[in-house]
Structure 1
């Protein structure tokens, strides 16, 4: 039995919650994962996992063993990286998850640069506005906007996004140009965003000094995906609020008009986030540094509070 491999498979089962999910995430047969974990238990002469038909739970001995295994594997990876010069040439499969607009406007147009720098990294790019479970889904890192709810994760702030209020010229021709946020309460059509996970609806919000206005009338359209939201505004379905980096090309082409520029919205912090047990991975470090550099080069992604 390859003891290191067995430890890795055991840790993955604990993180995924089932043998099936662990095997799928590692692209291995379920039987292989089960066999290695059973052999590990036999070697240690202790039960590490309680198995049910739906999921596995960790025994007290298994939890203690997992904590030490995670640290040991991280140290082992660091030793290998330093000896094989993996810091200079990171390699292996890297699973990254990003939002839809981030993928379309930032990551994909610049992928050639990343691949040229790190030709030995095979990138699996997950694209979704849903919040993924980094541990359970075996994701190496994510780029996400907004304050972080899970404080156990490692996060590096790489930028801030500014929101602007916009509408299409065709919409303004039909409904007129609002001169004040309260004008949107009547006689206008508003587009809002709702979370694909919590289903929370985010109203249009306006800030000026200490004054805050939320448009509380029912929105005629709510969208839960960033690219579709921008598309709905460009198509003239209503007034919306999008980030300046989403809006800049549409504004330059005259497809959108900025409204109420004297009223702002809170900046949205952007983080690259990864599990704490992967902080030593050369391939994760390479992507984190590349993403931070990419954001730093674009002033639209580095807005500061005025």
Structure 2
């Protein structure tokens, strides 16, 4: 991630009054629809001498209302961790990222207050880009007309963007991406993202069982609830060598060896020993091999891992790295 990105968890900014070109949204996954928005922000910021800025929310507003209403089934799955989201936003030219806490205080904030406190006082907004259906403020009472009216009053321009469609004319959206990931359709997710789906993080200590079985793994925590289908994947790993390394990974709760239900991404680098503990790595998902299974014993589990590793080798033999 670029070092000149500033991350804010509170507004107004503590270290700047620089005028901003702003877009607002959840940006989960930073898919090609999001990328079209970010490209416009970047372009107008450059032309007008503004700082390209994203305001996003944590938790997702839908997750907040689902928790509050005790409807956990309505919580959207997470495509990207905060780290991956911020990294992708930076890669697409954003220089200020506001992680606005979505809590009861924000849910109760009136639409005019939202504009005044967050956009005007918070970011010194001079140019704003939002989707045509963007709603904000208490009970989603704020609309584009109010933004335009207050923009004239406070000196910022408001632009809207229609949905971005794929080559078949279908809307590119986070929900379409969640659907593709939920069924393990990595070809579709790659089309929506413009790149392979990825999870990154620092390698943590596991139970060392893989090493005992002859398949040492590097373990990453994943966003929960994770949008990607649990199972075995062919992966490519960045961050351990100057070139990406081929691997096979298990995303799941490891039902054969534990009952604690913690979701983990365990990646075995093919035909190479690496010391990865504590390192920041990025795992890119290339092909779904099979669902996660519970095996009767470790011997059967080891045989399955051996077969999965061979499946990954076959993939790289025909596709390359």
TM bucket by the smaller chain? under 0.3
Using CA pairs under 8 Å that are at least 6 residues apart, name the structure with larger relative contact order, 1 or 2.
1
- Larger Rg, first or second structure (1 or 2): 1
More helix by share: 1
TM norm structure 1: 0.23
What is the TM-score of this pair, normalised by structure 2? 0.22
